[in-house]
Chains A and B, each alone.
Chain A
Amino acid sequence: MTRDVLLVDAVRTPFGKAGSLYSQTRADDLIVRAIRGLVERSPSLDLARIDDVAIAAATQTGDQGMTIGRTAALLAGLPRSVPGYAIDRMCAGAMTAVTTTASGIGFGAYEAVIAGGVEHMGRHPMGEGIDPNPRFLAEKIVDTDALIMGATAENLHDRFPHLTRERCDAYAVNSQAKTAAAYKNGVIQRNLIPVAVRDSELGWSIATADEPPRPGTTIEALAALRAPFRANGRVTAGNAAGLNDGATAALLTSSDFAAENGLTAKARLVSFAFAGVDPEIMGYGPIPSTIKALAKAGLSFDDIGLIEINEAFAVQVLAFLDHFGLDDDSAKVNPYGGAIAVGHPLASTGVRLMLNLAEGFAERPEVRYGLTTMCIGLGMGGTVVWENPNWKETAAAR
Chain B
Amino acid sequence: MSTTKVSEASEPKPIAEVVTKCLRRDIDLSLFGYEGKLALLTLDNGLDYNRPNTFGEEGLKLLSAMLDEVSSDSTIDVVAITGKPYILAAGADLSKISQVHKREQAVETGRFGHQVFHKLAQLGKPSFAFINGLALGGGLEIALHCQYRTVATNATLALPEVFLGLVPGWGGAYLLPRLIGPEAAVQVIVGNPLNNNRMLSGTQSLELGIVDAVFSPPDFLEHSVGFVADILSGKKSIIRTDHTGDAKSWQRAIATGNAAAAKKYGGADVDAPTRALELIAAARTSTAEQGFEAENQALADLIMTDELRASLYAFNLIQKKSKKVEGAPKPSLAKKVTRVGIVGAGLMASQLALLFIRRLKLPVVITDLDQERVDKGIAYIHAEIAKLVDKGRISRDAGNRLTGLISGSVDQQVYASCDFVLEAVFEDMAVKQKLLTALEAIVSPDCVLATNTSSLRVEEMSKHLSHPERVVGFHFFNPVALMPLLEVARTQFTDDESVATAIWIGKELKKTMVIVKDAPGFVVNRLLSIFWGEVTDAFDEGTPLDTADNALMSLGLPMTPFTLFGLVGPAVALHVSEILNQTLGERFGVSANMKTIVEGGIKTFYIKDDSGKLVANPAVSAVVKQGNQVSTSEQVRQRALIALAKEARLMLDESVVSTPDEINLCMMLGAGWPLRLGGILPYLDNTGISESATGQRFHSKGIASLPA
A residues with a Cβ closer than 8 A to B are 29, 32-33, 36-37, 75-77, 189, 192-196, 198, 200-206, 208-209
> Which residue of B is nearest A194, CB measured?
B222
- Are B25 and A204 in contact, with the CB atoms below 8 A? yes
Asked whether any CB of chain A lies closer than 8 Å to the CB of B42, the reply is yes
> Which residue of B is nearest A195, CB measured?
B222
The smallest C-beta distance from A37 to any residue of chain B, in angstroms, reads: 8
- Are B42 and A196 in contact, with the CB atoms below 8 A? no
Starting from the known contacts A193-B222, A194-B32, 4 additional A-B residue pairs (CB-CB under 8 Å) come to A202-B25, A203-B25, A205-B40, A208-B32
Q: Which of B135-143, B213-221, B628-636 contacts A (4 or more CB under 8 A)?
A: B213-221
- Are B222 and A206 in contact, with the CB atoms below 8 A? yes
- Are B42 and A192 in contact, with the CB atoms below 8 A? no
- Are A208 and B28 in contact, with the CB atoms below 8 A? yes
- Over the window 38-58 of chain B, the binary record of Cβ atoms lying under 8 Å from chain A Cβ atoms (1 yes, 0 no) is 001110101000000000000
The smallest C-beta distance from A87 to any residue of chain B, in angstroms, reads: 22
Complex Cα gap A209–B25 (Å): 15
Asked whether any CB of chain A lies closer than 8 Å to the CB of B31, the reply is yes
Asked whether any CB of chain A lies closer than 8 Å to the CB of B571, the reply is no
> Which residue of B is nearest A186, CB measured?
B30
Asked whether any CB of chain A lies closer than 8 Å to the CB of B200, the reply is no
Residue among B23, B32, B41, B226 with max Cβ neighbours from chain A (10 Å): B23
Asked whether any CB of chain A lies closer than 8 Å to the CB of B82, the reply is yes
> Which residue of A is nearest B219, CB measured?
A36
Complex Cα gap A192–B30 (Å): 12
Asked whether any CB of chain A lies closer than 8 Å to the CB of B155, the reply is no
Asked whether any CB of chain A lies closer than 8 Å to the CB of B267, the reply is no
Complex Cα gap A206–B30 (Å): 12
> Which residue of A is nearest B44, CB measured?
A203
Inter-chain contact total with CB atoms closer than 8 Å: 62
Task: Find chain A residues with CB under 8 A from B44 CB.
Answer: 200, 203
* Interface residues of B, count at CB 8 A: 24
- Are A36 and B218 in contact, with the CB atoms below 8 A? yes
> Which residue of B is nearest A75, CB measured?
B218
- Over the window 214-251 of chain B, the binary record of Cβ atoms lying under 8 Å from chain A Cβ atoms (1 yes, 0 no) is 00101111100110000000000000000000000000
> Which residue of B is nearest A208, CB measured?
B31
- Are B23 and A202 in contact, with the CB atoms below 8 A? yes
Task: Find chain B residues with CB under 8 A from A76 CB.
Answer: 218
Q: List 13 A-B contacts (CB under 8 A).
A: A36-B219, A77-B218, A192-B31, A194-B31, A194-B222, A196-B221, A198-B42, A203-B42, A204-B40, A206-B222, A208-B30, A208-B31, A209-B31
A194-B32, A198-B85 known; A206+B219 contact, CB < 8 A: no
Task: Find chain B residues with CB under 8 A from A200 CB.
Answer: 44, 46
Interchain CB contact (< 8 A) of B41 among A189, A192, A203: A203
- Are B41 and A196 in contact, with the CB atoms below 8 A? no
Task: Find chain B residues with CB under 8 A from A193 CB.
Answer: 222
Interchain CB contact (< 8 A) of A206 among B23, B24, B27: B27
B residues with a Cβ closer than 8 A to A are 23-25, 27-28, 30-32, 40-42, 44, 46, 82, 84-85, 216, 218-222, 225-226
- Are B221 and A206 in contact, with the CB atoms below 8 A? yes
Interchain CB contact (< 8 A) of A189 among B23, B27, B31, B84: B31
- Are B31 and A205 in contact, with the CB atoms below 8 A? no
> Which residue of A is nearest B226, CB measured?
A194
Complex Cα gap A195–B226 (Å): 12
The smallest C-beta distance from B142 to any residue of chain A, in angstroms, reads: 16
Task: Find chain B residues with CB under 8 A from A208 CB.
Answer: 27-28, 30-32
The smallest C-beta distance from A171 to any residue of chain B, in angstroms, reads: 29
- Are B23 and A203 in contact, with the CB atoms below 8 A? yes
Task: Find chain B residues with CB under 8 A from A36 CB.
Answer: 218-219
Complex Cα gap A77–B153 (Å): 13
Complex Cα gap A192–B24 (Å): 23
The smallest C-beta distance from B216 to any residue of chain A, in angstroms, reads: 7
- Are A206 and B218 in contact, with the CB atoms below 8 A? no
The smallest C-beta distance from B51 to any residue of chain A, in angstroms, reads: 14
Task: Find chain A residues with CB under 8 A from B32 CB.
Answer: 194, 208
Residue among A36, A76, A203, A208 with max Cβ neighbours from chain B (10 Å): A203
- Are A204 and B219 in contact, with the CB atoms below 8 A? no
- Are B219 and A33 in contact, with the CB atoms below 8 A? yes
Task: Find chain A residues with CB under 8 A from B82 CB.
Answer: 204
Complex Cα gap A192–B218 (Å): 17
> Which residue of A is nearest B43, CB measured?
A203
Task: Find chain A residues with CB under 8 A from B219 CB.
Answer: 33, 36-37, 196
Task: Find chain B residues with CB under 8 A from A29 CB.
Answer: 218
The smallest C-beta distance from B66 to any residue of chain A, in angstroms, reads: 11
The smallest C-beta distance from A79 to any residue of chain B, in angstroms, reads: 14
Interchain CB contact (< 8 A) of B40 among A33, A194, A201, A203: A203
- Are B25 and A77 in contact, with the CB atoms below 8 A? no
The smallest C-beta distance from A29 to any residue of chain B, in angstroms, reads: 8
Interchain CB contact (< 8 A) of A194 among B41, B216, B218, B225: B225
Closest 3 CB pairs of A and B: A203-B42, A203-B23, A196-B221
> Which residue of B is nearest A192, CB measured?
B31
> Which residue of B is nearest A189, CB measured?
B31
- Are B218 and A204 in contact, with the CB atoms below 8 A? no
Residue among A32, A76, A193, A204 with max Cβ neighbours from chain B (10 Å): A204
Task: Find chain A residues with CB under 8 A from B222 CB.
Answer: 33, 193-196, 206
The smallest C-beta distance from A26 to any residue of chain B, in angstroms, reads: 12
The smallest C-beta distance from B233 to any residue of chain A, in angstroms, reads: 16
Complex Cα gap A324–B198 (Å): 71
Complex Cα gap A200–B25 (Å): 12
Task: Find chain A residues with CB under 8 A from B225 CB.
Answer: 194, 206
Task: Find chain A residues with CB under 8 A from B28 CB.
Answer: 208-209
Complex Cα gap A195–B85 (Å): 15
Task: Find chain B residues with CB under 8 A from A75 CB.
Answer: 218
Complex Cα gap A193–B221 (Å): 13
Residue among A37, A195, A196, A205 with max Cβ neighbours from chain B (10 Å): A196
Interchain CB contact (< 8 A) of B218 among A33, A189, A205: A33
Complex Cα gap A75–B216 (Å): 12
A189-B31, A198-B85 known; A205+B25 contact, CB < 8 A: yes
Task: Find chain A residues with CB under 8 A from B218 CB.
Answer: 29, 32-33, 36, 75-77
Complex Cα gap A373–B220 (Å): 36
The smallest C-beta distance from A246 to any residue of chain B, in angstroms, reads: 15
Residue among A29, A194, A206 with max Cβ neighbours from chain B (10 Å): A206
Complex Cα gap A75–B218 (Å): 8
Task: Find chain A residues with CB under 8 A from B85 CB.
Answer: 198
Complex Cα gap A77–B215 (Å): 13
Complex Cα gap A189–B29 (Å): 12
Complex Cα gap A195–B220 (Å): 10
Complex Cα gap A198–B46 (Å): 13
> Which residue of A is nearest B21, CB measured?
A203
Complex Cα gap A127–B27 (Å): 35
The smallest C-beta distance from B681 to any residue of chain A, in angstroms, reads: 42
Complex Cα gap A193–B31 (Å): 9
> Which residue of A is nearest B24, CB measured?
A203
- Are A205 and B41 in contact, with the CB atoms below 8 A? no
- Are A204 and B31 in contact, with the CB atoms below 8 A? no
Complex Cα gap A204–B44 (Å): 10
Task: Find chain B residues with CB under 8 A from A205 CB.
Answer: 25, 27, 40
The smallest C-beta distance from B24 to any residue of chain A, in angstroms, reads: 7
Complex Cα gap A36–B24 (Å): 27
> Which residue of A is nearest B38, CB measured?
A206
> Which residue of A is nearest B31, CB measured?
A208
Complex Cα gap A33–B84 (Å): 19
